[in-house]
Amino acid sequence: MKNILIIDDEREICTFLSHLLTLKTYHVTTGLNGDDFYKHIKAKLFDLAILDVRLPDADGMTLLRELKREQPSCKTLIMTGYSTVKTAVDAIKSGANDFIEKPFDDIDKLEEQIDGLLENGTNQMERHVQSIADQAGFFLGRSEAMRHLAAFAYKIAQKQLSVLIEGETGSGKEVLARFIHMASHRSKERFIGVNCGALSEQLLESELFGHEKGAFTGAVETRRGLFELASQGTLFLDEIAEASPQTQVKLLRVLEAREYYPVGSEKVKRTNARILAASHKNLQEAVKEKAFREDLLYRLNVVKLTIPPLRERVDDLEELTTFLVSQSERPDMTFSSEAVSVMKKYHWPGNIRELSNVISRAIALADEEATMIPVSLLPHTFHESPAEKEAGAAVEIPQKKESSSQSTAEFERYLKEWTSHVLSLWHQEEPPPLEEVLDKVKELEQVTGQAFVEKTLQQTYGNRREAARQLDITMRKIRYILNEKGTPSSG
């Protein structure tokens, strides 16, 4: 018979749970405080402990640690009220198996949860995590940090909580968000991602909240927003730090009250979409810099997942490389051990996206018959001494064989054509309309801007922030130059 320990200072909860679980033939012991807890765990081995996070003489986290030490195989279910959800989430991070919110409004679910914990071994959960990760194309690796992160994300996926994902650029924030969606009860519904940094303020608001016909120039018909389209599913807000102050206010309202107004409408709408947000910026820092609302961070921060950068999990690099190669056009290729050892020493500022680019490049450069990728096919920055790197030697462009020379050739061709066109106007006997000439000059400005932005983006592995820094312009200006709307002056 399975032994269950229940610790809660509310006597009625103990009585209720004791009655419910005894009927299911479990053997139940109850206690009202920390003293009772210590007394019971010294006296008997338990299969499951159901602990309140807040007790008059002890806190749940301390009890959890003590239990893990004294009885490592005992499962733990944390009980929490609305105001202590964050503590319960922290408890899961520290190894509790699950949590349940009080008051219990779904007794069947509670029974299911308890039966599940008692029946399923940890291995079963690990297998489930792995199978969802496989479906999501999410490579977990062996590193303790990633395994722990995935197990935590899996447990949290089942709850109706918003999640904030932090991690460097290219570290897999979107892949993790998809994993959470697929591990949740919403997996059959839609997963919709939107990059808050890639759209102008007006466009982002109308994407998210929808708009009424005539709300602004170009709003020729009423349009549903993503909060409506993802209402039963998951909405992934990437680069949330880029949302304007006005959009942040609207997002806060959605998180607090699940309500919003479409642009130009006075009719409030409700959404049930689960919100997952991501940022490569540390939002705590952004709050200090007054660039992000503290109350919004507070709402998002209930569950925070931080993906470690690739350089901190080099032990996984070889296996991850094999995984990414297996998904490429040449799944039979392998990297030589010398190449792998050079890759392990590299610092991977662009993380897994950069690794994926390096792999594509090496495969494109390799001979058709070759199956082994030698170290010489790695970008030259990989072979530099630390001193050379420090001196800021040029970064190799991790693209397919011809792409950088191709774009240079295209740009040169354009400049020649442009010059010959303008010179032909110059040599005309009749002066041409000046507007025509000036339009050509504007076109030159636009094409040149795009060429420089695209070249820099290749060099930064698609990292727009870094490209903006190198070019000394704003991210918004990059979007403008790339014709992604927005105005060049607005930040």
Ligand X SMILES: Nc1ncnc2c1ncn2[C@@H]1O[C@H](COP(=O)(O)OP(=O)(O)OP(=O)(O)O)[C@@H](O)[C@H]1O
Give the footprint of ligand X on this chain (CB under 6 A).
Answer: 137-139, 167, 169-175, 238, 280, 352-353, 356
DSSP H/E element including 321: helix 317-326
Q: Write the DSSP symbol of residue 366.
A: S
**CB of 360: closest distance to ligand X in angstroms?**
10
**CB of 258: closest distance to ligand X in angstroms?**
26
Question: What is the rounded distance in angstroms from the CA atom of residue 75 to the CA atom of residue 73?
Answer: 6
Q: Write the DSSP symbol of residue 84.
A: G
The residue of the chain with the least Cβ separation from ligand X equals 172
**CB of 304: closest distance to ligand X in angstroms?**
15
Q: Rank residues 31 and 170 by Cβ distance to ligand X and give the closer one.
A: 170
CA 254 to chain centre: 20
DSSP result, 422-458: HHHHHH-SSPPPHHHHHHHHHHHHHHHHHHHHHHHHH
Beta partners for residue 193, in sequence order: 236
Nearest to 303 by CA among 97, 78, 87: 87
Q: Rank residues 37 and 139 by Cβ distance to ligand X and give the closer one.
A: 139
Q: Rank residues 175 and 437 by Cβ distance to ligand X and give the closer one.
A: 175
**CB of 349: closest distance to ligand X in angstroms?**
12
Question: What is the rounded distance in angstroms from the CA atom of residue 448 to the CA atom of residue 441?
Answer: 11
Q: Rank residues 269 and 353 by Cβ distance to ligand X and give the closer one.
A: 353
Q: Rank residues 80 and 234 by Cβ distance to ligand X and give the closer one.
A: 234
Q: Rank residues 174 and 312 by Cβ distance to ligand X and give the closer one.
A: 174
Tokens (6 digits) for 424: 């032909």
Q: Rank residues 2 and 353 by Cβ distance to ligand X and give the closer one.
A: 353
**CB of 237: closest distance to ligand X in angstroms?**
11
Question: What is the rounded distance in angstroms from the CA atom of residue 94 to the CA atom of residue 61?
Answer: 8
**CB of 177: closest distance to ligand X in angstroms?**
8
Contacts 24+ apart (CB under 8 A), 343-349: 343/317, 343/378, 343/382, 344/314, 344/317, 344/318, 346/311, 346/381, 346/382, 347/311, 348/309, 348/310, 348/311, 349/168, 349/169, 349/461, 349/463, 349/466
**CB of 316: closest distance to ligand X in angstroms?**
9
**CB of 440: closest distance to ligand X in angstroms?**
36
Q: Rank residues 212 and 238 by Cβ distance to ligand X and give the closer one.
A: 238
Tokens (6 digits) for 209: 């909240």
CB 458 within 8 A of CB 450: no
Tokens (6 digits) for 60: 């749940």
**CB of 213: closest distance to ligand X in angstroms?**
33
Tokens (6 digits) for 107: 């007794």
**CB of 245: closest distance to ligand X in angstroms?**
22
How buried is residue 92: exposed, middle or buried, by Cβ count under 10 Å (0-12/13-18/19+)?
buried
DSSP H/E element including 334: strand 334-335
Q: Rank residues 138 and 480 by Cβ distance to ligand X and give the closer one.
A: 138
Question: What is the rounded distance in angstroms from the CA atom of residue 236 to the CA atom of residue 164?
Answer: 10
**CB of 171: closest distance to ligand X in angstroms?**
5
Region of residue 378 (phi > 0: left; psi between -120 and 50: alpha; otherwise: beta): beta
Question: What is the rounded distance in angstroms from the CA atom of residue 319 to the CA atom of residue 239?
Answer: 29
**CB of 327: closest distance to ligand X in angstroms?**
8
Tokens (6 digits) for 7: 């610790």
Q: Rank residues 110 and 149 by Cβ distance to ligand X and give the closer one.
A: 149
Question: What is the rounded distance in angstroms from the CA atom of residue 438 to the CA atom of residue 444?
Answer: 10
